[in-house]
A and B are shown apart, each in its own frame.
Chain A
Amino acid sequence: MTGTWIAVLATAAGCYAFKLSGLTIPQRLLASPRVRRFAELVPVALLAALSAVQAATDGHAFNLDPARLAGMAAAIAALLLRAPFLLVIVAAAGTAAALHAAGVS
């Protein structure tokens, strides 16, 4: 139990240290155009990767869950129709939930 507490608190401390380090790194390090472009593009790369990984995998394996993929397709359709953000989320979750309820996957 003590070991688990140490793991819990060390994880919390490490995660917080990472968050704080990004915020406190001197901004002059971002003065170079290349570094600034990197910092600007990183969220695009990471969030796209996160979206793909959460949509199509579970753990180490690809998991092409039909309901989840249909939810993503609904989100893309809503985005192409210029739906507001919350409607995109509702469309995605609603589609996936409806297909789950219907017994798909």
Chain B
Amino acid sequence: MSAQRAGAQVPSAGGEAAAGAAVSGPPRAARPVRDGIGLGLAVGVSGIAFGAAAVSSGLSAWQACALSLLAFTGASQFALAGVIASGGSLLAGTAGAILLGGRNALYGLRLAGVLRPPRRRKPLLALGVIDETTAIALAQPDESSARKGFTATFICIYLTWNLSTLAGAVGAGHVAAPQTLGLDVVGPAAFLALIWPRLKAGRRERAVAAAGAVIALATTPIVPVGVPVILAATAALAAALVSPAGDPRGPDTA
């Protein structure tokens, strides 16, 4: 994979990520796997919270495990459990949970160009298209590291999330709140850390990130849970439309 090609596919990760790696020491090749496994373990254990929440919502342990095995996207799973717990309509709950998964389609759109999977592998890879795998893959400086990071994160989260869902579903009632271990801050901190190189790369990335966060926070009180994050995509849309064709961000994005 030529540097130019990788630069075009993973814009803006190049310079800053390389600088970060040089400062923080460990060889770059080891980072996508190490970071992916670390994030996978930290996020995967919150499957305990899902399993426990699902069972106390009225789902059976089998249903909780089926959601983790087949839907495998935490926000949608929590959303469905929440609606069932509140006695809401199953149809509305299902629609909301699926809508929440809409952002994974946008991630897939981007990942297809970076991972470039052969057609026959797409059905399996698709299961792994979630926030964490996308964030790790797109934080890598080249396509090869992106593939390694995606795969390591996917495998680690899939195993941990499903085992911990089972543990939480079976042990519901004996589970400590995730806040006790600070696990409630793992997700937001990880997502911020993973887009950090992009934020340092350009004013436009910073503007898009800030606008996305503001849009999501501002709409949180008034639209269904989960929708604010999808609405944040309009920040990317606006930036993509107003940007001049000649891109000022530098050689690696041309």
Residues of A participating in the B interface, judged by any CB pair closer than 8 Å: 1, 3-16, 18-25, 27, 30, 33-35, 37-57, 59-62, 65, 67-68, 71-72, 75-76, 79, 82-86, 88-89, 92-98, 100-101
Contact = CB atoms under 8 A, between A and B. Distances in A.
B135 A11 contact: no
10 closest residue pairs by CB, A with B: A22-B108, A14-B98, A45-B212, A49-B232, A97-B182, A96-B182, A71-B185, A49-B216, A12-B70, A93-B182
Q: Is chain A's binding surface mostly helix, strand, loop or mixed?
A: helix
A34 B35 CA distance: 31
Contacts of A84: 24-26, 31
B106 A42 contact: yes
A44 to B, nearest CB: 5
Nearest to B96: A11
A57 B11 contact: no
A10 B192 contact: no
B126 A19 contact: yes
Interface in B90-121: 90-91, 93-94, 97-98, 101-113, 117
A67 B42 CA distance: 18
B111 A23 contact: yes
